[in-house]
A and B are shown apart, each in its own frame.
Chain A
Amino acid sequence: NAGVMQNPRHLVRRRGQEARLRCSPMKGHSHVYWYRQLPEEGLKFMVYLQKENIIDESGMPKERFSAEFPKEGPSILRIQQVVRGDSAAYFCASQGDGNQPQHFGDGTRLSIL
């Protein structure tokens, strides 16, 4: 199955540590989206990237959060100095060119102690 791969599936961090979430898009997809899902809520858009470029980061918190999608390798969502409120499920979706639907990974569940 060559779907969207996210790892780790579960990540536990203590307050103040860094969290790195990885996303490998489907083969041939050059568009990556990150969404955050808080408990009992819908998904909220965070950032949209194409290879080596951030296209729209209007949903990203201004501090501590960053994202990249390098020429080689997976897309990375990085959260520095995590706080309890960062606890959520983070989903990555990839999309091919043209008006194709987004395909979602199974998410990373981040828990902050």
Chain B
Amino acid sequence: GDSVTQMEGPVTLSEEAFLTINCTYTATGYPSLFWYVQYPGEGLQLLLKATKADDKGSNKGFEATYRKETTSFHLEKGSVQVSDSAVYFCALSDSNTGFQKLVFGTGTRLLVSP
């Protein structure tokens, strides 16, 4: 079945450092790819998405590019802030099912210190 693999955390960075969180996927079709962010005690918020190969999703300084050849969707940000501390989830949905059943990775906790 479809699956998503993320780098294990926690990722600990100083403010203004460069961030990369790796995500790779396995899918039989051509999935849509997502990054969600979860702040403590809250639900998931959609951060960005990409629906086809070579698409770049971006939001709030975060970016990720859909790489079909490497089946990857790595999350990057050039300069992190303390407020970016959260858990980040990579996810996919199989567009062939006709509905958006999301398959999530296990999440990567990001801790940013001042």
Contact = CB atoms under 8 A, between A and B. Distances in A.
Interface of A: 4, 6, 31, 33, 35, 40-45, 48, 55-56, 91, 93, 95, 99, 101-107
Interface size class of B (residues with CB under 8 A): 20 to 34
Contact of A42 (B41, B45, B104): B104
Nearest to A101: B46
A44 B101 contact: no
B43 A104 contact: yes
Contacts of B49: 101
B43 A42 contact: no
Interface in B20-48: 34, 36, 41-46
Contact of B43 (A44, A99, A106): A106
Nearest to B4: A42
A41 B106 contact: yes
A74 B50 CA distance: 31
6 contacts: A93-B44, A95-B100, A101-B34, A102-B100, A104-B44, A105-B43
A93 B100 CA distance: 11
B99 A102 contact: no
A104 B36 CA distance: 10
A107 B45 CA distance: 12
A45 B1 CA distance: 13
A34 B100 CA distance: 12
Nearest to B44: A104
A107 B41 CA distance: 8
